[in-house]
Structure 1
Amino acid sequence: MRLAPWLSYLDDSLTATSPRISWLPYAVHHPPLFHATLLVAAVHLNRRQPLRDASVLLRLKIQTIAVANESMDNASDSISDQMMMVALILLYFNVGGDDREEFVIHLKGIHQMLLLRGGVRNLGMDGMVKNWLGVCHGPWQDDWEEGAFSR
């Protein structure tokens, strides 16, 4: 079962150094990424077995955005690898769906973060952010066309 760019497939042979869970220490020590991780987990659980009350997904999304916005006040954290992951998660798992304006806001925010960081070569988290940028199509890719998501 394909879950997300950081997880390949579910299995019982995970170790502490497995690439499939190597993102976890980053999330445990970064509240916005932790909340985004909870959101991803809930989205995956909902896909496997629909939740009785799907509004929990929206509540998790709202909590993630609120905690992320608090971190945006800190200049260094606002463009950290972890915050880029949060923005990518909000982009990739667009709970509530079909809000093109929200999608474009996340695309532009991620692109601005990437520019402020000086490009992909300056990203860390063991290549996780770079992998997500490869999965999520956006202005950081050569074949991107501005307005591709306009009505």
Structure 2
Amino acid sequence: MANKPTADQSTTQSGRSRAASPVTTRSDTSSNSKASSPSEAPKNQIDFQFLNFSHPSDAKASRARRTVRSHVTRRQHAQETALQATRKAQSFHDTSAEPEQPPATLRKHAVTLPSHRPTTLELASSSSTSAPITSSPETSSASPSPTTSPDQPSICRIDPSEVYPEEWHPYIPRVMEHYLSNLAVDIPDLDGPVTKGLLRTRFFPLIMTDAAPLHAVMLVAASHYSKVRGSRLHAIDLLQLRGMAIREINAALEDGRRATSDQLIAAVAKMASYEALFGDRDIFNTHMTGLTRMVTLRGGLPNLGLDGLLERILLWIDANATLIVGRHLYFDKNAFPTTAVHPRPDPQRFAGGIVRQP
């Protein structure tokens, strides 16, 4: 008995029978059916063409061979046409769609520190800071643009795991919780008679929008944590963190968008708090002097953001830190008119219960 033909061919089981057998059993189309066009065929099916043979040897006839070749050619042409149409549609879609803007990335501060760690701020002069500075991509900071309100939807929140070394990550949540529980407490001179906890609900979200105040607050929090619970209970390198904070502040001072922003003013104020509680009193004076210049460039204390909260925070730091280090007030009422009330110092609450030794 002859071998079975290839695709699109069938054999007969009797020489007298003229019934046709399809190539597969998926279709019961009669021998008089026309081959479906590629556009009419279902997506997941093949359009068949049937050949009738009275004897197996008819499959080798030239007419049958031409029919098979013709059918295969038409099928291949239809598939190629459909593929080209798909590619053309995809190309049109890709060129017409708006390209996605790459997300702003945060610098890996921990691995970009210079070999020497700065110890003082490099505050620009009044003439150079008052005018907007156009920064190049090499000198601009990766922190979000400054704003007087952290509630705007365009402001990005910083993920601490993106800016701190991996070995610090297990300790960052507990240090932040320590800050919120022991330093960002309810303070009547900051909260007012009605609202409570503004350091947690308004100030803390602000510092999370810029690396400079984040580093400064983390430095104060980690130092206080070490003082209260012991330095071996976390792996955060305080000297490295201090260098990161000062470096970020200096970079922000060179950026016209950030040089006098609420975020940077908050960062310098927290660095002054750190030096008053844990650091160098001369450097505290450097920070406070720079802070008064920044406030002047902003047009005075009443022009600061957070609905007056930042103004009250600066007065609170000024009243308590100067008492601790034994210096005069920097935001004197005559030199810096204010809509807020100068608070009475409360060093115990300001320092979270710790007392600095003379």
TM-score, with length taken from structure 2: 0.34
Alignment of 1:21-100 (within 5 A): 21-22=200-201, 23-52=203-232, 56-94=237-275, 97=279, 99-100=280-281
SS in 2 for 1:142: coil
Q: Structure 1 residues 70 and 126 mapped into 2: Cα distance closer, same or farther (>3 Å)?
A: same
Counterpart-to-counterpart distance in 1, 2:225 and 2:307: 26
**Mapped pair 1:103 → 2:272:** no
CA–CA distance in 1 between the matches of 2:241 and 2:229?
A: 17
**Partner residue, 1:8:** 186
Q: Which runs of 5 or more structure 1 residues have no equivalent in the other structure?
A: 10-16, 145-151
- Higher relative contact order (CA closer than 8 Å, sequence separation 6+): 1
RMSD value, Cα: 2.9
Determine helix, strand or coil for the equivalent of 1:21: helix
Structure showing the higher helix proportion among its residues: 1
| Distance of aligned partners of 1:143 and 1:59 in 2 relative to their CA distance in 1, 3 Å threshold | farther
> Does the aligned pair in 2 maintain the 1:58–1:96 contact within 8 Å?
no
Q: Indicate whether 1:19 and 2:207 are aligned.
A: no
Distance 1:109 1:130 in 2: 16
User: For residues 126 and 50 of structure 1, do their structure 2 counterparts lie closer, same or farther at Cα, with a shift above 3 Å needed?
Assistant: farther
Q: Write the distance in 2 (CA, Å) between the matches of 1:50 and 1:131.
A: 32
The CA distance in 1 between the partners of 2:290 and 2:215, in whole Å, is 19
Q: Alignment length, in residue pairs?
A: 135
TM-score normalised by the chain length of structure 1: 0.74
Distance 1:142 1:74 in 2: 30
Overall identity of the aligned pairs, in %: 26
Measure, in 1, the Cα distance between the counterparts of 2:287 and 2:259.
Answer: 13
Structure 2: gaps spanning 5 or more residues: 1-177, 188-195, 319-328, 336-358
Q: Deviations over 1:90-114 (max 9, x none)?
A: 10111752x3331221111000011
Q: Secondary structure at 1:77's aligned position in 2?
A: coil
